[in-house]
Structure 1
């Protein structure tokens, strides 16, 4: 048990290093450019951190599409292990819940005690509360205990040998729509977010639509998997998830680029062109996806190589 916990902690720490490295790059850019100062700090932090979350979410989803975490059943495949491993949708719901329950209170940063709630604060707090409770619902749906409880009334009416007690094929996969619902509603809401300048509105519409598109593609994934649930331990690689991951990552990057100081700087220099911003985000996303593909492929090659070495070491020696 201790060894398993240690291995899980080490594997988690290894993957968190990627996120920490990205955070360090963003911090370096902020320090170098001198943004996020004075009255801009709260809005700047909100855009960079929240956009970074969607960016990393997109990279994580693309890695799942490539086959990462297939040993946990997170690559839209049947888990090869029989242990009680949480589903990827449970992890997504937990992160959404954590995001919401913390961000609910952060929206009042900078406000004085007794200050009335502004329209923008109510908008953002409402979204955070949606994350909070939708995440709770998502975790509840993924709980096998709760699902067994909900199935008890019908199960009690069947006899022990009743073939109706056979688990349906849909039980082989998770079809939890709440993570997609949260992302989609967030995208649609932020696409309608009022801004001071038209260019800011246009940028918000772009990344809002990208997030909404990612949610729609995730729903299509569930639709096709519902028709034919995964029956193999090998990654199924639904093409809708390749597109959804790209929309998530690109939307997250556009979210970061919608920071007020960046938009104002672009307007002052005559670069307030939404196509330029979108093309830049698409290009960077494609470049980083190539990096993810290279890293995942290299890891897979190392595993194959290590497997061959293990076979050679375990093979009996041939005597003359």
Structure 2
């Protein structure tokens, strides 16, 4: 059984219907009825709650903002309302699908997250609860941080279910497009995080960014090498192309990991991940399809990927000149992550069934590509807004930057100057220590709100010892 078949078998095993299937014709996945207003409201409210409100609340929780609880409360109310609307709609009916079966578990996770938040807000410390409080704090933090990823997956399932896509022979390519497209978007988000707020963490690891990029590329290549072909069956041209691409990925990934350190063991930049991105883009741009619109969309996807790889080469070689990006980001450095967002949406929007639907509607590839680029711009904006919210709380009043990062000139909560006595910025090690402290702020109870913003003396973990 191929990897795609195994994934589908696992998903199908969890499918539980929630009624309303009698209107679905035999052999079809959806009825011929249009989507009614109730279902549209369900989709809009779910997107608002889990796509916008909860991510903002997550960041506010990390920076210990007083707005964390109100924002998450609003999101919870909207999400619960949207959940019940999803079971009350008329119009289009659906056959058994993954979105419906996952929905109950998804909402159960939301209930667990809310229950943990309420428990922590009550500050119950009798009967030994103070010693185990850190377990609930950690669970609440982890659930909150994985919620955006789970929400994205459920929204993708929802879109697939609404259109009746990804069934029977379309399953394999559907999995490839949505998984790989989401991976490119996730890669772009990671690059954005490292670019704007993650450089101190990166320096602390003692490794260059290309080491982590190459490690992921190598791991992904190993998976592709052994899962793109249905072993025991005949080889087709798509199998061969995808398998060889997997081989290129793990071979290049191993090389990139080796080149990410100098002879003395210091982190070193290299261009291997950028070259892999360009090669992948080249392969996809020449990936012929049955429909002309599909061929053109795949070509634009490939060109976008090649552009992302080329931008990365220019960034490392000519903008940064092989140095780590620890200063205020250059405007050109935003090009690579944005093009990865765009390439991800292009690939997710290029499945066989989507292309047939657009072709039948007479929509040209130019209009479709512009729409997908618009979505990429909006998502890129939202990620930058979230990181801005984090940064202005984590490094307030950092009014200037140098090659080592922001200089602190504000007054902390103890009334002491954040800078050194001679007026210079604090050392890089102190800045890294502060960054670590802010990463742990999501694990701090409200009783510690008045403590200095530096490293905590009594963490929740220490309370459990």
Range into which the TM-score falls when normalised by the shorter chain: 0.7 to 0.9
What is the Cα deviation at residue 308 of structure 1? 5.9
Cα distance in structure 1, aligned partners of 2:337 and 2:368: 19
Matches within 5 A, 1:147-226: 147-148=263-264, 174-225=268-319
Aligned Cα root-mean-square deviation (Å): 2.9
Change (3 A) 1:13 1:221: farther
Equivalent pair of 2:224/2:243 in contact (CA under 8 Å): yes
Cα distance in structure 2, aligned partners of 1:226 and 1:250: 24
Matching of residue 71 in structure 1 with residue 200 in structure 2: yes
Equivalent pair of 1:186/1:211 in contact (CA under 8 Å): yes
Range that drifts further, 296-305 or 188-197 = 296-305
Find the partner of 2:217 among 96, 99, 103: 96
What is the Cα deviation at residue 185 of structure 1? 0.3
Cα distance in structure 1, aligned partners of 2:411 and 2:179: 42
Change (3 A) 1:261 1:308: farther
Matching of residue 39 in structure 1 with residue 169 in structure 2: yes
What residue is the counterpart of 1:240 in the other structure? 332
Q: Which has the larger radius of gyration?
A: 2
Change (3 A) 1:28 1:142: same
What residue is the counterpart of 2:414 in the other structure? 311
What is the Cα deviation at residue 42 of structure 1? 0.5
What residue is the counterpart of 1:263 in the other structure? 355
Cα distance in structure 2, aligned partners of 1:10 and 1:218: 37
Runs of 5+ unmatched residues, structure 2: 1-136, 398-409, 416-450, 453-465
Matching of residue 300 in structure 1 with residue 391 in structure 2: yes
Cα distance in structure 2, aligned partners of 1:245 and 1:100: 21
Find the partner of 1:129 among 233, 241, 247: 247
Matches within 5 A, 1:8-47: 16-47=146-177
What residue is the counterpart of 1:52 in the other structure? 182
Change (3 A) 1:148 1:21: same
Change (3 A) 1:85 1:19: farther
Equivalent pair of 1:254/1:277 in contact (CA under 8 Å): no
Provide TM-score, normalisation by structure 2.
0.53
Cα distance in structure 2, aligned partners of 1:206 and 1:289: 19
Higher helix share: 1
Matching of residue 281 in structure 1 with residue 402 in structure 2: no
What is the Cα deviation at residue 8 of structure 1? 12
Equivalent pair of 1:184/1:215 in contact (CA under 8 Å): yes
What is the Cα deviation at residue 86 of structure 1? 3.1
Runs of 5+ unmatched residues, structure 1: 1-6, 74-78, 150-170, 315-320
Equivalent pair of 1:62/1:241 in contact (CA under 8 Å): no
What residue is the counterpart of 2:226 in the other structure? 105
What is the Cα deviation at residue 17 of structure 1? 4.2
Cα distance in structure 1, aligned partners of 2:370 and 2:341: 13
- Count residues with an aligned counterpart: 270
Cα distance in structure 1, aligned partners of 2:160 and 2:289: 23
Equivalent pair of 1:93/1:178 in contact (CA under 8 Å): yes
What residue is the counterpart of 1:141 in the other structure? 259
Cα distance in structure 2, aligned partners of 1:197 and 1:102: 29
Cα distance in structure 1, aligned partners of 2:219 and 2:139: 19
Q: Using CA pairs below 8 Å that are at least 6 residues apart, which structure has the higher relative contact order? A: 1
What residue is the counterpart of 1:116 in the other structure? 234
Equivalent pair of 1:87/1:174 in contact (CA under 8 Å): yes
SS of match in other structure, 1:175? coil
